[in-house]
Structure 1
Amino acid sequence: MLYQAAINYSYSQELLAKNIIHAENFEGKLSANKLIDKEQSETSNIQLENIQNNNVNSALNSLKHNWKKVVQAALYLGHKPIKTISNRSAKIYGWYTWNAADFIREWHNNEKFLYQTRRVELSFTPSQMQTIMELHKLPGLANFLEKAKDMGITVNWLIGEPDLVTANGRRKLMQWLPAIYALGFDGVDLDVERSQLPKNKQNIWKSGIIKTIAVIHSETGRPITLTINYKEFKNKNLINQLIGAGLSNAAIMIYISNPNRVKQIPS
């Protein structure tokens, strides 16, 4: 559910950015008739409804002010029976999938869930990665990726090895990425949080993750998502450095069991 909130926020940012890029800009004003209106979710409208005739900075600031509403909407939708959600806002879910083998084997038995899915983050075990590197395929994976592409679902390679913030980890990653992209993945999701490192190495996380993102961006130009603790996300300097390195999206993780507290944190 919390990942769903992060995906909603990320999607709202992407949609707003596309609107700004494609809008006519005259003396800092956005032309209302140039706003893109394609498959908007209800949470996206929170950002879009007020940007007509506002300047670009005001439009971007609306993201910050409405983040709490995005979380509330995500939590609300997460408790609604799926049949009561309108088609306009149906594609709202994102999924972390750590066991790729089970998922690839079973997804077609209940593929209705794909109609409510916007993103799938798919991870592989070391043995599965070895198979991909040797055979350039994995049983059943091509069928899923083809189905996802037909439905407009983004599929990212999810990798969470702590050594990705080291030079050796970056070299290994760059050996794997060509094979992953050849299979048809849209981008990469780095689930590498500071807390995953031993305490005596946690101080290298910041510089290491920035270097890793910069290398991926420089070598591939593909979208990069970072799974990041919300406490790290409060560091504006860090976020600016991550964006400067090439970060496309952030999945903001809030580790707490009280839903009411979740809604208070981003405010």
Structure 2
Amino acid sequence: MARRIQQLFDLSGKTALVTGGSRGLGLQLAHALGEAGAKIVVTSRKATELEAAVAELRGAGIDARWIAADCAVETEIERLAAETLERVGDLDILVNNAGASWGAPAEDHPIAAWDKVMNLNVRGYFLLSQHIAKNSMIGRRSGAIINVASIAGLGGNPLAMKTIAYNTSKGAVINFTRALAAEWGHYGIRVNALAPGFFRTKLANGLIDQLGEDQMTANVPLGRLGDNEDLKGAAVLLASDAGKHITGQFLAVDGGVSVVTAG
């Protein structure tokens, strides 16, 4: 007998790790999965921010804990994966969200900054996915990985936005998602990506303040920036059995910007 829709979206009994989960989109994603019933582990570099995030999550009735780690450093990723599995057991859901950006004209972009963005936004996603899959998901032939990309990975930017490393990294995340989904599908692991548009986050706030919210939303069909609940439904869809036949896809959550750009 087919399950009811409420059962398909239910994450009770599941465990999720959310990188970059102490604030912004990562914290929103942690709330979404936790509100759907999952036990949550959040990670980022700063313990004080993680403590505040976990207090907020627990205040919302979510079973949450934190582990501080730098997802741009291979040894830290290894430690994060091992400590997470030791503390909470097998992982059902991995959300690769930790990210960095750098603003500079392409002709003058520092190579060290390029490497910093790529190490966190691409290499870190791969290494953590590899560790979690090999030590938890592959053996159980089950798991959901959600990579946070961006509509910046779909093309270029207006001239004022000189973020070539970020755009390149997010384009890589989208195809990494496709390739990993194709390779790991036979293990029962689904891999999908979310591609947010402009949300009020630490990465975007400077640009929004520089250009003004009116200009930032001028080409958005829905006429607004993303808010603190706009990623929730999409995340739970991709993490839960409601999306059990979806893999290798990216979902733009951008108020329609990518549709206008594509047209």
| TM-score normalized with structure 2 length | 0.39
Q: Which has the higher helix share?
A: 1
Q: Which has the higher contact order (CA 8 A, sep 6+)?
A: 2
- Compare CA radii of gyration and give the structure with the larger one: 1
| TM-score normalized with structure 1 length | 0.39
